[in-house]
C-alpha cells in the first residue's frame, strides 16, 4: 500500500472523563511514523473536537447539547486537539502535520473539490500528514449524525487511497450484536455488494454514541477502495494492515 487514509474515532481519543487520551495519541503517532519511514503516504481523519471542547470547558457528556452548542464545543476543542497532534507527531516523531477542515459542501462544488485535491496531493508529496476534521462550526448535518466515517470515505476517494482504515474501540464488525450475544464473532471479510444484512443489524443496534457501525458501513459503501475496521488499541495495528498485509479486524472489499 502506498497511500492510506486512517480515521480515528472519538472513543479512542478521549477518556471517560472527557480529557484527551494522550497515551493513545503517543501510540498512534509512532505507528504513523513507521508508515512514514516505509514511504506510505498517510492522511488522518480525526474526530474528538467536540469531546475535547467538553473536556476543556469541564462539561458533562450526559448534559443535553444543542447543535450550536456542539459546534461551539468543536471550536474550542479543535485547537486543543491540534496542539496535541503537533506535540506527538511533529515534536516527538518529526512527522510534519497540517490541519485541513472540510465540509460536505466542499465535495459538491467542483472548485473547492479541485482545490482540496490539489492541496492534499501537495501535502502528501511533501511527506506531510494532513489531519482532517469536519469544519464543525459551519457544518450541520454531518456533525449531527457524527459522520467522520463518511468524511473519511470521501477523502479516501479524493486522494485515491489504496485503503481506508477505520480505527475504533471494538475489534471489527460482529456477526451478531455483541450486546445480545457476548460470544458473537467478528466477520473477517465482507463483500461490499452484500452490505444489506449488516445495515439491518446496525439499524437495530444502538450506536453507543460515536463510532457506530452504521456510519462505517456507509463509509464502506461510498468508498472506492477496501475498508478495514480495526481496534485502534491493538498492538501495531497499522503496521499489520499496511505493511504486513494482515487483517486484524474486518475488511470490506
Binding site for ligand GLU (CB under 6 A): 10, 47-51, 74, 133-134, 136, 143, 146-148, 210
**Cβ distance 131 to 44 under 8 Å?**
yes
Identify which of residues 50 and 252 has a Cβ nearer to ligand GLU in the complex.
50
Please report how close the Cβ of residue 107 comes to ligand GLU at its closest, in angstroms.
15
Q: Least distance from C-beta 209 to ligand GLU, angstroms?
A: 9
**Residue carrying the nine cell digits 501537495:** 122
The angle at the Cα of 204, spanning 214 to 150, to the nearest 5 degrees, equals 10
Instruction: Please name which of 62, 43, 65 lies closest in space to residue 143, comparing C-alpha atoms.
Output: 65
Q: In whole angstroms, how close is the CB of 243 to ligand GLU at the nearest point?
A: 27
- State the Rg of the chain over Cα: 17
**Is 75 or 205 the residue whose CB approaches ligand GLU more closely?**
75
Looking at beta carbons only, is 1 or 8 nearer to ligand GLU?
A: 8
Write down the least CB distance from residue 65 to ligand GLU, Å.
12
Contact 148, 138 (CB under 8 A): no
List alpha helices for the chain, DSSP H.
Answer: 10-13, 22-37, 49-56, 67-85, 93, 110-125, 141-144, 148-159, 196-204, 213-222, 237-238
Residues with Cβ within 8 Å of 90's Cβ and at least 6 positions away in sequence, in order, are 96, 97
To the nearest whole angstrom, how small is the minimum distance from the Cβ of residue 9 to ligand GLU?
6
Nearest to ligand GLU of 21, 148 (CB atom): 148
- Looking at the Cβ atoms of 218 and 226, the one nearer to ligand GLU is 218
Amino acid at each position: 500500500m502506498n497511500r492510506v487514509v486512517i480515521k480515528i474515532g472519538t472513543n479512542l481519543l478521549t477518556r471517560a472523563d472527557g480529557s484527551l487520551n494522550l497515551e493513545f495519541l503517543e501510540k498512534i503517532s509512532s505507528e504513523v511514523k513507521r508508515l512514514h519511514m516505509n514511504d506510505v503516504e498517510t492522511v488522518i481523519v480525526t474526530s474528538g473536537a467536540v469531546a475535547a471542547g467538553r473536556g476543556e470547558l469541564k462539561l458533562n457528556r450526559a448534559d443535553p447539547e444543542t447543535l450550536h452548542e456542539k459546534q461551539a464545543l468543536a471550536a474550542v476543542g479543535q485547537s486543543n486537539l491540534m496542539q496535541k497532534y503537533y506535540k506527538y507527531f511533529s515534536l516527538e516523531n518529526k512527522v510534519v502535520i497540517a490541519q485541513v477542515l472540510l465540509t460536505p459542501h466542499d465535495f459538491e462544488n467542483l472548485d473547492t473539490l479541485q482545490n482540496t485535491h490539489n492541496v492534499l496531493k501537495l501535502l502528501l508529496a511533501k511527506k506531510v500528514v494532513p489531519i482532517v476534521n469536519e469544519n464543525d462550526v459551519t457544518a450541520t448535518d454531518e456533525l449531527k449524525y457524527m459522520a467522520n466515517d463518511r468524511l473519511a470515505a470521501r477523502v479516501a476517494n479524493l486522494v485515491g487511497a489504496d485503503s481506508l482504515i477505520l480505527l475504533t474501540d471494538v475489534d471489527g464488525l460482529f456477526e451478531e450484536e455483541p450486546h445480545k450475544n457476548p460470544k458473537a464473532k467478528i466477520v473477517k471479510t465482507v463483500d461490499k455488494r452484500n452490505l444489506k444484512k449488516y445495515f439491518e443489524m446496525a439499524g437495530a443496534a444502538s450506536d453507543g454514541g460515536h463510532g457506530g457501525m452504521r456510519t462505517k458501513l456507509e463509509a464502506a459503501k461510498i468508498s472506492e477502495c477496501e475498508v478495514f475496521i480495526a481496534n485502534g488499541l491493538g498492538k501495531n495495528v497499522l503496521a499489520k494492515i499496511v505493511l504486513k498485509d494482515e487483517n486484524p479486524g474486518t475488511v470490506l472489499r
